Amino acid sequence: IPAYASLLRIGSPENIAGECKKALALGYGAIKLHETTTPAVFAAREVIGPGIPLMVDMNCPLTGEQAIAFAKACEDAQPMFLEEPVWPPEDFTALADVRRKGGLGVAAGENACTEYQFRQMMNAGAVSHAQPSVTKVGGVTEFLKVAALADQLGVKIVPHSPYFGPGLLATLHLLATRDDGLVEMFYLKREACLWGGRADVDATGHVAVPSGPGLGYEPDRGVMERYRVA
């Protein structure tokens, strides 16, 4: 599954550019920032060039009006979408307004529960990209319902999956059922891995889908023991 590097909040445009460069060198073919300023967005675009998809996760800081202005100010950097630009995140009317007037894609849904809430979101025209999180939406079955609905309504699915455990493995399997898969990988160096380093991005920017029974890998009991909370 093609992966995108989901960067932590960094702040300084210079350091953002440095991390984007490193992520591309590691093989990633797409980048998501967690930033809220235009210099941050433009610093990333400048260093990755025009061909690499760039996403901007804002984590809900703005009013609708502010988000529209931010989208317009970012337009030349061509982000694929702004993620959760407004507070509260369930204000689908405001999100739809941002999408319509801001001129960019809008993504949301990492905390949305069940197909019911995604239906409200999509019917409102709030998102170009829906982001069900398999650990929160209601599991594998509910995720599949959201994906079917999105396909029906012409909304793209870009799951929320900055996880290290079963949620990441389940997301890989779910994306393997689709042809537009792009898996979110938390961009950091883990001290240990539950899956023996197998749920990682390779040099071509892909993550392998586990092929064993169930979710596909047995967790490393040594790692679980070592990090047990007393």
- Under 8 Å between Cβ of 106 and 130: no
**Site residues (CB under 5 A) for Mg ion?**
57, 110
With CB atoms as reference, the residue minimizing the distance to Mg ion is 57
Instruction: Give least dist CB 102 to Mg ion, A.
Output: 18
Of residues 28 and 81, the one with the C-beta less far from Mg ion: 81
Active site residue 129: no
R_g (Cα) of the chain, nearest Å: 18
Instruction: Give least dist CB 84 to Mg ion, A.
Output: 6
Catalytic residue chosen out of the listed positions 34, 129, 160, 173: 160
Residue 77 zone, left/alpha/beta (φ > 0; ψ -120 to 50; rest): alpha
CA distance 105 to 182: 16
Instruction: Give least dist CB 57 to Mg ion, A.
Output: 4
Residue 11's Cβ-side half-sphere holds a number of Cα atoms within 13 Å equal to 0
- Under 8 Å between Cβ of 20 and 44: yes
Q: Torsion angle, CA of 14/17/22/24, rounded to 10 degrees?
A: 180
Instruction: Give least dist CB 162 to Mg ion, A.
Output: 8
* Residues taking part in catalysis: 160
